[in-house]
């Protein structure tokens, strides 16, 4: 079955760290760029970060640059998001998402999404 | 950054009637090299992740009913649901992928009147 399953979310104090994982199955993982997109409670969608299929290029929103790191392990078909120096405004459901088309480029629109993992930053 | 705006914020349409959502980008998302508009539309139902509906501004994603259509170019785009069905109740987002950072519109909520 073609799917993405996120894990690793939870409650963390401001200034703390958390790592999200996204396990992919049912497609050739390293053929596709991947992204993280978040959604604060009751709010809209915000793209957070993206990485090329082979992991050589990564991209970040200004709001997380320098605090979050995206990576992937193609041997394990898993995408990661290391989040440091967390703030209250990082509270959101974090979705991993797959590029629509496989290529060496980062296309930036997504045809497969996970169910999301909730990250709550609060003391 | 390219700022995406949508109108209206919400709309209620009778079953079988047309629903029209507008999206505007703060700068053109039309590439002169390939004449493509880097604009996608997503549908999100409560408690679910977004679902890709349209890409390249007017290309319907596989499996999406043909009552959904996208149009527009440059900075102004429209998503049309030609005959609203109960299962179309959702929030719809436009997104530009012309340049980083990728940005989404604030969403338009579609309900049944």
Q: Are A99 and A34 in contact (CB under 8 A)?
A: yes
As a whole-number percent, the residues of chain A with pLDDT over 90 amount to 94
CA-based nearest residue to B80, from B98, B97, B46, B57: B57
As a whole-number percent, the residues of chain B with pLDDT over 90 amount to 100
Q: Report the distance separating Cα B42 and Cα A97, nearest Å.
A: 13
Is B93's Cβ below 8 Å from some Cβ in A? yes
The residue written with tokens 């309900």 in the block is B111
Residue B29's pLDDT is 98
* pLDDT at residue A104 greater than cutoff 80: no
Q: Report the distance separating Cα A96 and Cα A22, nearest Å.
A: 6
Residue A35's pLDDT is 98
Q: Are B21 and B9 in contact (CB under 8 A)?
A: no
Q: Are A97 and A24 in contact (CB under 8 A)?
A: no
**Across A25-29, A102-106, B65-69, least confident range:** A102-106
Interface of B with A in 22-61 (CB under 8 A): 38, 40, 42, 44, 48-52, 55, 61
User: A106 or B82: which carries more pLDDT confidence?
Assistant: B82
Please give the residue of chain A at the shortest CA–CA distance from B47: A115
pLDDT band at B27 (very low <50, low <70, confident <90, very high): very high
User: A103 or A13: which carries more pLDDT confidence?
Assistant: A13
Mean of per-residue pLDDT scores for chain B? 98
Residue B110's pLDDT is 98
Q: Give rounded-to-5 percent helix, strand, coil for chain B.
A: 5, 50, 50
CA distance A63 to chain B (A): 10
Q: What is the pLDDT of residues A34-62, one digit of tens each?
A: 999 999 999 999 999 999 999 999 999 99
Please state the rounded mean pLDDT for residues A21-30. 97
> Which residues, including other chains, have CB under 8 Å from residue A86's CB and lie 6 or more apart?
A12, A13, A14, A15, A16, A17, A18, A67, A119, A121
Q: Report the distance separating Cα B105 and Cα B54, nearest Å.
A: 14
In this complex, which of B44, B52, B107 lies closest to A110 when CB atoms are compared? B52
Q: Are A112 and A98 in contact (CB under 8 A)?
A: yes
Q: Report the distance separating Cα B5 and Cα B20, nearest Å.
A: 14
Spell out which residues of chain B touch residue A115, defining contact as CB-CB under 8 Å. 48-49
Q: Are B95 and A35 in contact (CB under 8 A)?
A: no
The residue written with tokens 């930053």 in the block is A121
Is A100's Cβ below 8 Å from some Cβ in B? yes
Is B106's Cβ below 8 Å from some Cβ in A? yes
Sign of CA dihedral A59, A63, A69, A75: negative
CA distance B2 to chain A (A): 12
């Amino acid at each position: 079955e073609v799917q993405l399953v996120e894990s690793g979310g939870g409650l963390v104090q401001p200034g703390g760290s958390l790592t999200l994982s996204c396990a992919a199955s049912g497609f050739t993982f390293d053929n596709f760029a991947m992204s993280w997109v978040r959604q604060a409670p009751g709010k809209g969608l915000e793209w957070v970060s993206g990485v090329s299929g082979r992991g050589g290029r990564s991209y970040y929103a200004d709001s997380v640059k320098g605090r979050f790191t995206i990576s992937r392990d193609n041997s394990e078909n898993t995408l990661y998001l290391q989040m440091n120096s967390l703030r209250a405004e990082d509270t959101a459901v974090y979705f991993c998402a797959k590029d629509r088309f496989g290529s060496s480029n980062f296309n930036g629109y997504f045809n497969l999404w996970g169910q999301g993992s909730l990250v709550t930053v609060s003391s | 950054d390219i700022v995406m705006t949508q109108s209206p914020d919400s709309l209620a349409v009778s079953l079988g009637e047309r629903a029209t959502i507008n999206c505007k980008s703060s700068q053109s998302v039309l590439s002169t090299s390939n004449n493509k508009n880097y604009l996608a539309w997503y549908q999100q139902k409560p408690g679910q992740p977004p679902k890709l509906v349209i890409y390249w501004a007017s290309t319907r994603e596989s499996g999406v009913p043909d009552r959904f259509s996208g149009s527009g170019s440059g900075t102004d785009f429209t998503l049309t649901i030609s005959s609203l069905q109960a299962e179309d109740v959702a929030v719809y987002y436009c997104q530009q992928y012309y340049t980083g950072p990728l940005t989404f519109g604030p969403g338009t909520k579609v309900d049944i009147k």
